[in-house]
Amino acid sequence: MKEEIISAEHLAFRYQGMDGAPDVTVFENLNLAIEEGSFTAVLGTNGCGKSTLAKHFNSILLPTGGKVYVCGLDTSDPDRLMAVRRNVGMVFQNPDNQIVANVVEEDVAFGPENLGIASPEIRRRVDVALKQVGMYEYREHAPHLLSGGQKQRIAIAGVIAMEPKCIVLDEPTAMLDPQGRRDVIDTVKRLNKEKGITVVLITHHMDEAAQADRVVVLDKGTVAADGTPREVFSQVKLLHDMGLAAPESVELCWAMDQLGYDLPLTMLEPKECAQVLYDWLKA
């Protein structure tokens, strides 16, 4: 049984309404555990609470009720704040607004420098991190001249240079073009598979979520679905009711099923879908 690296227990969160508007309740009683070494995608439409949830994982937001534990540490304990943030790194949506320095390697060094690590060790970590995200040749470049996908990879390098156990990415590809999105998701998958870093990916892109080991669907602050991508995406009606869609192959088979045919809803990739359709047509 793998250790739980992040766990939300009876999580409740409410924020105050502005200018006399009523308070908005985001979570009432959310329970969720993330296993060490896993790649979990958190899916949902805007307003379902997924970003709010992500911010609880490293104490940017604190619960108004219930608890969130990271590596056994209580996120609401002010004495544990640095320890929590050392263990859970966070990558945000806007590539530009995470970069602190004028030179790539100096930005990646920012985290380790804050931790008071000795200079030669920082150098080592920066080089390793940049190589892991495939941006080592750009180490002396100016970040603002890079593409969005490259900037996000620098941001990821800046986080892994701190050697966290887990990375939480809050819609990291929302502002990127298709190539950039591919690069970022590939990088993240590789870090998870090769380095064993736990990854929590917040997204509203189905094709990205399909690459995770586990998909958690949030709807209005509650867990509406939780399972492997195949398990979750086959619940097409549920997804539609929440304003989401399944990957195109699943949607196609579902549309056929609506007409009375009987096709499975578990093929997420074009190749496997084609194979199943081929067999079905030949039958």
Q: Which of residues 161-190 bind another protein (CB under 8 A)?
A: 162, 174-175, 177-179
Subset of 188-247 contacting another protein (CB under 8 A)? 204, 243-245, 247
DSSP 1: -
Alpha helices (H) in the chain, listed in sequence order:
50-56, 81-87, 104-114, 119-132, 148-160, 178-195, 206-209, 229-233, 236-241, 248-258, 270-282
Q: At its nearest, how many Å lie between another protein and the CB of residue 92?
A: 6
CB of 256 to another protein, least distance (A): 6
Among 40, 51, 52, 58, binds another protein (CB under 8 A): 58
Q: Report the distance separating Cα 139 and Cα 218, nearest Å.
A: 38
Angle between helices 119-132 and 148-160 (to 10 degrees): 140
Q: Does 52 bind another protein (CB under 8 A)?
A: no
Does position 266 interact with another protein (CB under 8 A)? The reply is no
φ, ψ of residue 231 in degrees (nearest 5): -65, -45
Told to check if 144 binds another protein by CB under 8 A, we report: yes
Distance (Å, whole) CA 99 – CA 115: 17
Task: Please name the helix (run of DSSP H) or strand (run of DSSP E) that holds residue 68, with its range, or none.
Answer: strand 65-70
CB of 222 to another protein, least distance (A): 18
Measured CA to CA in angstroms, residue 54 lies from 32, 59, 230, 272 at distances of 12, 9, 23, 33
* Cβ-based nearer residue to another protein, 223 or 256: 256
Q: Between residues 115 and 128, which has the closer beta carbon with respect to another protein? A: 115
The burial of 120, by beta-carbon neighbours within 10 Å (0-12 exposed, 13-18 middle, 19 or more buried), is given as: exposed
Where in 17-36 is the site for another protein (CB under 8 A)? 18
Stretch that binds another protein, among 26-34, 131-139, 154-162, 220-228 (CB under 8 A): 154-162
- Return the residue of 12, 33, 223, 277 that touches another protein, per CB under 8 A: 277
Contact 105, 140 (CB under 8 A): yes
**Residue 15 touches another protein, criterion: CB under 8 A:** no
Residue with tokens 């544990």: 80
How many residues touch another protein under the rule CB under 8 A: the total is 72
273 binds another protein (CB under 8 A): yes
Q: Which pair of tokens denotes residue 11?
A: 């999580």
- Cα separation, 51 vs 45, whole angstroms: 10
Residues 78 to 117: which contact another protein by CB under 8 A?
82, 85-86, 89-90, 92, 94, 96-103, 105-106, 109-117
Nearer to another protein, 3 or 269 (CB): 269
Cα-only R_g, the chain: 20
Least Å distance between CB 9 and another protein? 22
Q: Is 72 in the site for another protein (CB under 8 A)?
A: no
Check residue 280 for interaction with another protein (CB under 8 A).
yes
Show contacts with another protein in window 122-141 (CB under 8 A): 122-123, 126
**Secondary structure (3-state) at 162:** coil
Kindly tell me which residue out of 63, 158, 172, 221 binds another protein, with binding defined by CB under 8 A.
158
Give the shortest CB-84-to-another protein separation in angstroms: 10
Position 157, amino acid: A
